[in-house]
């Protein structure tokens, strides 16, 4: 069983996202450690990209700050290797296909395996084009995590059958960001997923409050929160790790 699947074994999972290098890699490292200490079951680490098409303004701005501060993919690999001396929960990268393509898929996945990354999410990679990266993922034991959106419709069963790690259910159309209300018929999507795979599925995009996280966890196997955490880090900068830890403790209690 993969380390990712194990993250969902003890009840509902809480999955925070943070942008690596915003405001600096030292702060990212401390935020990860606080997240683990306060109950995160799996952590998504964003590799910043100059044109993050799936992201709303909060994460776009975090990407720009990180890139302006000199963050590189190699520096992020080094940070993860260092984190792995203290962190045992699954870590997955979330980035864009061009980041992996320009680095070289084989070299990228090799470095993921070497530093202890468990999976990768590429929101701009269409299901039909995953063959570009899947062989390298399989070679190095990295789960290529599939996303299922409200627009996936008749493709849901096909995506679910071929998924690995866990399935990322996108709660709403549009880009990442907090939403006051999530109105998608997620129950129907998750029922279709469960008819086709026993992999866990977690819901992300738009979740920012304990109430929303609890609602999403009732429907699925866990909740993913990004923009609300990235916003905290943007506001408190080097002082953000403690605030992030407090927020995660509250969200984890809600999904339980």
Q: Write the CATH number for 207.
A: 3.20.20.70
Give the Cα-Cα-Cα angle 100, 224, 121 (nearest 5 degrees): 15
Establish if 32 belongs to a structural domain: yes
Q: Please provide the DSSP assignment of 18-87 as one string.
A: EETTSS-HHHHHHHHHHHHHTT-SSEEEE---S--TT--HHHHHHHHHHHHTT--HHHHHHHHHHHTTT-
Q: Tell me the pTM.
A: 0.94
Domain presence at residue 7:
no
Averaged pLDDT in 10-residue chunks for the chain of 256 residues: 85 97 98 98 96 81 96 98 97 96 98 98 93 97 95 90 96 53 77 95 93 95 96 97 98 96
Provide the pLDDT for residue 174: 47
Position 182 scores a pLDDT of: 56
94 located within any domain: yes
* Residue 177 near residue 206, CB atoms below 8 Å: yes
Q: How many domains does the chain have?
A: 1
pLDDT, residue 171, reads 85
Residue 93's pLDDT is what? 98
Residue 2, pLDDT score:
76
Predicted confidence at residue 5, as pLDDT, reads 86
Q: What is residue 154's predicted lDDT score, i.e. its pLDDT?
A: 85
What is the residue range of 182's domain?
A: 13-248
């Amino acid at each position: 069983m993969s380390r990712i699947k194990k993250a969902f074994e003890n009840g509902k999972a809480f999955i925070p996202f943070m942008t690596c290098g915003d405001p600096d890699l030292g702060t990212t490292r401390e935020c990860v450690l606080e997240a683990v200490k306060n109950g995160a079951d799996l952590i998504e680490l964003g590799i910043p990209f100059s044109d993050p098409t799936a992201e709303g303004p909060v994460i776009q701005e975090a990407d720009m700050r990180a890139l302006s501060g000199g963050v590189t993919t190699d520096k992020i690999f080094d940070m993860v290797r260092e984190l792995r001396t203290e962190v045992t929960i699954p870590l997955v990268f979330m980035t864009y296909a061009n980041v992996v393509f320009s680095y070289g898929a084989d070299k990228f996945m090799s470095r993921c395996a070497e530093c202890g990354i468990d999976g990768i999410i590429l929101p701009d990679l269409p299901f039909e084009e995953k063959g570009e990266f899947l062989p390298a993922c399989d070679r190095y034991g990295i789960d290529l995590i599939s996303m299922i959106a409200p627009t996936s419709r008749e493709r849901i069963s096909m995506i679910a059958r071929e998924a690995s790690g866990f399935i990322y259910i996108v709660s709403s159309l549009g880009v990442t960001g907090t939403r006051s209300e999530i109105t998608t018929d997620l129950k129907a999507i998750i029922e279709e997923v469960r008819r086709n795979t026993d992999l866990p599925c977690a819901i992300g995009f738009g979740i920012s409050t304990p109430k929303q996280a609890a609602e999403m966890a009732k429907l699925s196997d866990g909740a993913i929160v990004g923009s609300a955490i990235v916003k905290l880090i943007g506001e408190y900068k080097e002082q953000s790790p403690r605030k992030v830890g407090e927020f995660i403790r509250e969200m984890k209690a809600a999904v339980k």
